[in-house]
Amino acid sequence: MPGAPAQKAEPTATVRPAHPLSARAAATRQRILDAALAEFAEKGLAGSRVDEIAARAGANKRMLYAHFGSKEELWLTVLERAYAAKREEERAVAVEHLPPPEAMARLVAFNLRYTARHPEFVALLNQENLHRAAYLRRSEDVPALYSPLVEALRGVLARGVAEGVFRNGVEPMQLYISILALGHFYVANRHTLSTIFGTRLDTEAAIAARETHITEVVLGYLRP
């Protein structure tokens, strides 16, 4: 029967998993996390209201505090899960078997697309930086935040150089930051940019145009 409690999977390294946590409680917890993600991304940490989060979750404030202890702990949990979710998808990006330029293009495109698909992640990051990464620093699995993309990028870069199709002396960390930047900034600032330029930037056509451009930028730069 579906009662199998083997749901371990241990993704919840969040708050003490004291006891196994019943299905109903786990569902409530999940609804609160989803609601909190939406609220936090929409209004920021200071602008979010715990009552509103509880209401969105169809839960009660009491349950929110039972699960997470405080608004700030909830924030940290949401943040960690957002990072984990991105890391998860990143792992699925297989580029080892591709020619370096194609592999690089895929990394660049993945990043833009993920970012465009998850503006909440961008909003969360911006908020966290406003707090000088105070919460992230408190996280216990910060090392795990180190994206698989960095290593993938390093590998592709090395292969490209070895094959003579990429320039030499590129700093992987700098390039990684640049690739993140080219996508992230576009999504993060889409509202002010749209206002200033007078064009919608969140349409599929606009995103596709952006993808073409930033891929050209990175590949153009990497030419030997």
Partner DNA sequence: GCGGCGGGTAACCGATCGGTTACTTAACGG
Partner DNA sequence: CCGTTAAGTAACCGATCGGTTACCCGCCGC
Q: Which residues bind DNA (CB under 7 A)?
A: 19, 21-22, 24-25, 27-28, 48-51, 59-63, 65-66, 70-72
- What burial letters (b/e) apply to 173-203, b meaning 16+ CB within 10 Å? eebbebbbebbbebbbebeeeeeeeeeebee
Cβ closest to DNA, residue 3 vs residue 169: 3
Cβ closest to its own copies, residue 60 vs residue 194: 194
CA angle 138, 88, 48 (to 5 degrees): 50
- What burial letters (b/e) apply to 40-61, b meaning 16+ CB within 10 Å? bbeebbeebebebbbebbebee
Q: Which one of its own copies, DNA, none is in contact with 71 (Cβ closer than 5 to 8 A by kind)? A: DNA
The answer to whether residue 142 forms part of the interface with its own copies (CB under 8 A) is yes
Q: Tell how many helices (H) and how many strands (E) occur in the chain.
A: 11, 0
Q: Which one of DNA, its own copies, none is in contact with 72 (Cβ closer than 5 to 8 A by kind)? A: DNA
**Range in contact with its own copies (rule: CB under 8 A) among 18-26, 66-74, 141-149, 157-165:** 141-149
Q: Which one of its own copies, DNA, none is in contact with 214 (Cβ closer than 5 to 8 A by kind)? A: its own copies
Sketch the per residue contact string, 94 through 133, with its own copies: x for CB under 8 A, - otherwise: -----------------------------x-xxxxxxxxx
Cβ closest to its own copies, residue 23 vs residue 134: 134
| Sign of CA pseudo-dihedral 93, 181, 193, 208 | negative
Measured CA to CA, the distance from residue 155 to residue 161 in angstroms comes to 10
| Sign of CA pseudo-dihedral 90, 93, 105, 155 | positive
Q: Which one of DNA, its own copies, none is in contact with 35 (Cβ closer than 5 to 8 A by kind)? A: none
E strand or H helix that includes residue 95: none
Q: How many other C-beta atoms lie within 10 A of the C-beta of residue 119?
A: 14
Measured CA to CA, the distance from residue 12 to residue 168 in angstroms comes to 42
The count of chain residues that interact with its own copies, using the rule CB under 8 A, is 56
The answer to whether residue 207 forms part of the interface with its own copies (CB under 8 A) is no
Q: Which residues bind its own copies (CB under 8 A)?
A: 42-47, 123, 125-133, 136-137, 142, 145-147, 167, 171, 173-175, 177-178, 180-182, 184-186, 188-197, 209-210, 213-214, 216-218, 220-223
